[in-house]
């Protein structure tokens, strides 16, 4: 969840660290801090609140040096206070570190260290690591290690890591070694940026954009030893490794706001382009099918698949629900959608011909990664639908499909959802053409998919209407979101968006399920948002809408252009273009994203940094 940044080289570290923390703030914004080696001592500045509060503190109390680490926190252990903020100091100040993850055995380690005279100043699990490194550094020197030799410090870190249970991404500096930065990971992402006479460390590539294009993604149980002119990579079990250098293709514009007020709004309006990017190069019009370069399964293997399991969390889980409809409709393959947090601890009866897809924007979601690893362990083909190149899930999966949506900075996912749905539609076309889908049907689906970017642009025209609706309903405390078939997952996603950024209680249901309990909630101050584009069961949803109106419930309808049947029932109508039912989620998601966004703006909420949430959930 938290964000880590580190630097060793020839530049002033503080400005680089602060810039990196601003770019990483979507990973956590309870507090922030930096530590810089300054004149032989490590100077620490940390502050509860957003990164700009830390920046003001640093401006008032500057610190200089060319080696440093920084952190922006999403709290797991200990309240959000200045003292609990990272970085944390070990021993008498000889070691300072930042940590992302959860140390499960920190209580026993804390007791051990207290028995050896260490004094704890915070309520965090992370301080345990700092003191434990200090303990092992002293132990190494007592056993004959040279306290002036960096190898002694490295051995102390290695001894510490062997005792930790849980997850960690670490940035570590020592007072005695002004040209050494250590990074280590187990379950929490870390990437090393390679420069000329300098190296960078970060939780993801965004702080590195504009400084380097060459990166190395650390794998679990790897440790990077960085100095201005060297990079050593070690594995806990196998020793020294040769780094696998990759190139990042982000540019500064990808992480800039441009003319938009918020990242979420920017990313909503990027969806025509991101949907086009998800489809680019993936059509085989001669065969009326899709094509993928990274599935790593031949057609014979794919034809033997008789069951698909899609596993994900949050918004990605909702995209998986849409994928279930699509795969069963076009490919006729039984498909199940599993919460990754549940699947990782279950033992479902998966056959040899079951294919598992892990769906994730970040590629680092802890539960999704654990569920994928469990399925791989049992020998099932396990693939990923992922946005972040080089992420852990992307690297560990047997194969997969990249979204190519670009960085998603807003905590509430928008463009990743529609990109995931687009890729799942392509996958359904691909598997369908291997089985039962006819050539003309494949051609028709390709033609319709190609038209979607322009249709999404038209969908965004509803923004002014949405503003008026948001103004009218912004003070309501409860919402119901209702849809059928392909639009039921969209209703769930719309409710989630409203909860995430507006802090309004909202529930999503299949519209027909209203009569089985939720209709008891309907009253004059509980709006019902009906996702009701044209389709085969449109009359059924109209009947559900009438049931709500009969109980004086306000109705907001997401309806097709020209649909007059909703006019006499809905209090407010947001119009969207008319498309085939299986493509409707791409269209109907747009006004629900905008509605949540605009209500949050009217209520004065922090759209991009909602309370208690972080972008990438890397802890359980």
Catalytic residue of the set 46, 47, 266, 615: 615
Six-digit token pair at 42?
């490590």
**Nearest Cα to Cα of residue 528 among 540, 503, 502, 546:** 546
Q: Which residue is associated with the tokens 């020793």?
A: 239
DSSP states along 332-345: ---EEEEEHHHHTT
Instruction: Please check whether residue 134 is in contact with residue 140, taking contact to mean a CB–CB distance below 8 angstroms.
Output: no
Pairwise CA distance, residues 70 & 44, whole Å: 10
Name the DSSP class of 264.
H
Residue 231 is classified by DSSP as E
Contact 181, 229 (CB under 8 A): no
* Residue 488 token pair: 């039921």
Instruction: Strands of 129-176 (E only): list them.
Output: 168-174
d(CA 465, CA 453): 21
Nearest Cα neighbor of 515 from 482, 488, 555, 493 is 482
**CA Rg, the chain, in Å?**
26
Classify 441 as helix, strand or coil. helix
Q: Is 497 a catalytic residue?
A: no
CA 557 → CA 472, 498, 541, distances in Å?
A: 14, 16, 11
Residue 228 to residues 35, 184, 511: CA-CA distances in angstroms?
18, 18, 61
Pick the closest to residue 591 from 605, 604, 601, 576 (CA basis): 576
Give the C-alpha distances (Å, rounded to integers) separating 293 from 88, 290, 402: 45, 10, 10
Phi-psi region of 404 (alpha: psi -120 to 50; beta: other; left: phi over 0): left
Q: Which residue out of 2, 313, 375, 386 is catalytically annotated? A: 2
Instruction: Please say if 450 is a catalytic residue.
Output: no
For the sheet with 528-531, list strands across it.
505-510, 478-483, 528-531, 555-560, 572-576
How is residue 596 written in tokens?
């949540």
Half-sphere exposure of 425 (CA within 13 A, CB side): 27
Q: Which residues are catalytic?
A: 2, 615
């Amino acid at each position: 969840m938290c964000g880590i940044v580190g630097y060793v080289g020839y530049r002033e570290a503080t400005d680089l660290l602060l810039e990196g923390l601003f770019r990483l703030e979507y990973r956590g914004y309870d507090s922030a801090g930096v530590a810089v080696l300054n004149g032989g001592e490590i100077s620490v500045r940390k502050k509860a609140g957003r990164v700009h509060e830390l920046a003001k503190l640093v401006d008032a109390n500057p610190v200089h040096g060319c080696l440093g680490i920084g952190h922006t926190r999403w709290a797991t252990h200990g309240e959000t206070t200045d003292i609990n903020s990272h970085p944390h100091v070990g021993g008498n100040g000889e070691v300072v570190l930042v940590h992302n993850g959860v140390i499960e055995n920190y209580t026993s380690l804390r007791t051990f260290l207290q028995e050896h005279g260490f004094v704890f100043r915070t309520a965090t699990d992370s301080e345990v690591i700092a003191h434990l490194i200090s303990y092992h550094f002293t132990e190494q020197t007592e056993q004959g290690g040279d306290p002036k030799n960096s190898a002694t410090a490295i051995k102390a870190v290695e001894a510490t890591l062997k005792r930790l249970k849980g997850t960690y991404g670490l940035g570590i500096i020592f007072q005695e070694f002004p040209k050494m930065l250590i990074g280590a990971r187990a379950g929490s992402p870390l990437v090393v940026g390679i420069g000329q006479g300098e190296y960078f460390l970060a939780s993801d590539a965004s702080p590195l954009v504009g400084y380097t294009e060459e990166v190395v993604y650390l794998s679990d149980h790897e440790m990077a030893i960085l100095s201005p002119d060297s990079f050593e990579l070690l594995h806990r079990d196998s020793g020294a490794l040769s780094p696998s250098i990759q190139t990042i293709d982000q540019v500064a514009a990808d992480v800039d706001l441009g003319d938009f007020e918020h990242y979420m709004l920017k990313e909503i309006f990027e969806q025509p382009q991101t949907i086009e990017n998800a489809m680019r190069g993936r059509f085989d019009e001669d065969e009326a099918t899709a094509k993928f370069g990274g599935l790593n399964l031949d057609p014979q293997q794919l034809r033997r698949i008789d069951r698909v399991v899609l596993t994900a969390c949050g918004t990605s889980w909702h995209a998986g629900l849409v994928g279930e409809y699509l795969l069963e409709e076009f490919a006729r393959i039984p498909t199940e959608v599993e919460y990754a947090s549940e699947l990782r601890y279950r033992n479902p009866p998966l056959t040899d011909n079951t294919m598992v897809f892990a769906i994730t924007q970040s590629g680092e979601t802890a539960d999704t990664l654990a569920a994928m690893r469990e399925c791989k362990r049992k020998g099932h083909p396990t693939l990923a639908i992922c946005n972040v190149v080089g992420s852990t899930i992307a690297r560990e999966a047997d194969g997969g499909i990249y979204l190519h949506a670009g960085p998603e900075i807003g905590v509430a996912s928008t463009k990743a959802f529609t990109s995931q749905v687009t890729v799942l539609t392509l996958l359904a076309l691909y598997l369908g053409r291997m089985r039962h889908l006819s050539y003309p049907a494949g051609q028709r689906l390709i033609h319709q998919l190609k038209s979607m970017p322009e249709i999404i642009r038209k969908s965004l025209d509803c923004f002014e209407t949405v503003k008026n609706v948001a103004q009218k309903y912004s003070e309501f405390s409860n919402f119901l979101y209702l849809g059928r078939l392909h639009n039921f997952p969209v209703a769930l996603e719309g409710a989630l968006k409203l909860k995430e950024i507006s802090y309004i209680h909202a529930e999503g249901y299949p519209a027909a399920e209203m009569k089985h309990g939720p209709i008891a909630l309907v009253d004059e101050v509980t709006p019902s948002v009906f996702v009701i584009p044209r389709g085969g069961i449109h009359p059924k949803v109209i009947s559900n809408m009438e049931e709500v109106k009969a109980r004086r419930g306000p109705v907001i309808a997401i309806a097709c252009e020209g649909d007059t049947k909703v006019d006499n029932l809905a209090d407010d109508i947001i119009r969207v273009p008319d498309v085939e039912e299986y493509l409707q989620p791409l269209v109907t998601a747009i006004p629900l994203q905008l509605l949540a966004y605009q209500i949050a703006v009217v209520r004065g909420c922090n759209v991009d940094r909602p309370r208690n949430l972080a972008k990438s959930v890397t802890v359980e």
